[in-house]
Structure 1
Amino acid sequence: MSEPLKVWEERDGQLLRLRLARPKANIVDAAMIAALAEAFAGAGGEAARKAVLLDHEGPHFSFGASVEEHLPGQCAEMLAGLHALIRRMLDCPLPILVAIRGQCLGGGLEVAAAGDLLFAAPDARLGQPEMQLAVFAPAGSCLLPEKVGPGRAFDMLVSGRSLSGEEAAAAGLVQEVAEDPEAAALAWFDRHLAPKSAAALRYAVQAARMQTVERIKEKLERVERLYLDGLMSTHDAVEGLRAFLEKRPAQWENR
């Protein structure tokens, strides 16, 4: 199997490029999580580097996390890895730009929302559809209220509906809507980050994120326990996941 992530530098080493490289689904599985975690661990290692741009191969950013890895016996390890990645992104000393086309769902949106500025195509679809499988989005429950406010986040997380790129921009989740979101992100970098001091940017990033990061980290630990100790002890959570994998309607017992 090919490597899940492509990594390279642009703009004379000022911009680190990361590209999800398992289209069309770009599933956020253990291999993808590990590759992203390694890339972000080293993102701040070059003094002249000023930003990270995360995008994707294929028509879709990501269909989400691996459903198989959400089943009992695997979900604790999967959540630990994904949430460690989210924390690493939150601690990244560089601005993280994200370019999105097509579907950006579930764990894919959680990864995207851990970035700072999202650029999306008008017809992109951003959502947390986990509730359709009788589970919820732990990281999304922590990240989205910070991005769009508690009311809009509640709507997305509880309904499981997706927003278009235009709707996501109106909600404050997306910075800019563009037919070519990669080009829009690069243009934003060239205009707003490339002329700046890399040293000053790192302090500005830390200052701008400080309280938000503290709130997300504190809540993420509690929400992870709620998921593992509460939700995964219910019949319907396991039934929803298995029904999806077996391609059959779920039989809810409301317990």
Structure 2
Amino acid sequence: MSGSLSVWIERDGKLLRLRLDRPKANVLDAEMIAALRAAFATHCANASLRGVLIDASGPHFSFGASVEEHLPEKCAAMLGGFHALILDVLKSPIPVLVALRGQCLGGGLELASAAHLLFAAPDTRLGQPEIALGVFAPAASCLLTERITRAAAEDLLLSGRSITGIEAYDMGLINGLSDNPEAAALDYFDAHLARKSANALRFATRAARLDFSARVATKLAAVEELYLNELMQTHDAVEGLTAFIEKRETRWKDQ
């Protein structure tokens, strides 16, 4: 366990549990990102594992990445670390399940979207609100168009609006709805993964994502460059982030 992440193994050594543990918002800052990456690096080589379940303490899955770490002096390091985590999840050799409740926003939804199977409460709120801060969601720009229709993905990315778990299920973003998404994810693991050959699951997981992970990795590198070298050189990107931190109205210049 780190100060921001609880880590344990259960189900007779077959399931790795990762719980975001920084109430109330479970912000994905550098410490949380590093702890998640370390857990994947340490445990995913365990040949007995059949799955990973990521969930969160408190009422919300995550409010997203740290806004302070998006500012120009920190955003290159933050994006580098966060996108490395996204690729860790995307290329995980074993299925990654996620249980969502409360708010699942920004980087929280990006993290979940990189996983294999998503379970959510009907009233979960999911969204990519970055556009309201004068920026965009780099990882979601690559992942959402792969998971749902382009029309639905562009709606979420351009509007910044949040949708319910029910809407996300109807879009195909969520695999299962339950008032207790953690229990639903565990039930899925017990019924469909726990008794499979761990070796076979690794090959099946790799095969299912071979082209998908390659496409996302290539696009993510290009989108990260767009974000850092073009977007973050503009007035409005810095203004939107600064205004959010200072809790004041934005003063857009449209440049």
| Counterpart contact for 1:178–1:184, Cα < 8 Å | yes
Unaligned runs of 5+ in 2: none
What is the TM-score when the length of structure 1 is the normalising length?
Answer: 0.98
Matched, 1:184 2:184: yes
The answer for the alignment partner of 1:204 in structure 2 is 204
The one-letter code of the counterpart of 1:209 is R
Q: How far does residue 63 in structure 1 lie from its aligned partner after superposition?
A: 0.4
Q: Secondary structure at the match of 1:49?
A: coil
Q: How far does residue 151 in structure 1 lie from its aligned partner after superposition?
A: 1.1
| Counterpart contact for 1:43–1:52, Cα < 8 Å | no
The answer for the alignment partner of 2:103 in structure 1 is 103
Q: Secondary structure at the match of 1:73?
A: helix
List structure 1 segments (4+ residues) > 4 angstroms apart after TM superposition.
Answer: none
Q: Secondary structure at the match of 1:115?
A: coil
Measure, in 1, the Cα distance between the counterparts of 2:108 and 2:70. Answer: 14
Measure, in 1, the Cα distance between the counterparts of 2:57 and 2:26. Answer: 8
The answer for the alignment partner of 1:76 in structure 2 is 76
Measure, in 1, the Cα distance between the counterparts of 2:42 and 2:94. Answer: 11
The one-letter code of the counterpart of 1:242 is T
Q: How far does residue 90 in structure 1 lie from its aligned partner after superposition?
A: 1.4
Matched, 1:121 2:121: yes
Aligned residues: 254
Measure, in 1, the Cα distance between the counterparts of 2:133 and 2:104. Answer: 17
The answer for the alignment partner of 1:160 in structure 2 is 160
Q: How far does residue 174 in structure 1 lie from its aligned partner after superposition?
A: 0.4
Identity %: 61
Unaligned runs of 5+ in 1: none
The answer for the alignment partner of 2:146 in structure 1 is 146
The answer for the alignment partner of 1:239 in structure 2 is 239
Q: Secondary structure at the match of 1:110?
A: helix
Matched, 1:46 2:46: yes
The answer for the alignment partner of 2:250 in structure 1 is 250
Measure, in 2, the Cα distance between the counterparts of 1:195 and 1:103. Answer: 33
The answer for the alignment partner of 1:88 in structure 2 is 88
Measure, in 2, the Cα distance between the counterparts of 1:195 and 1:175. Answer: 20
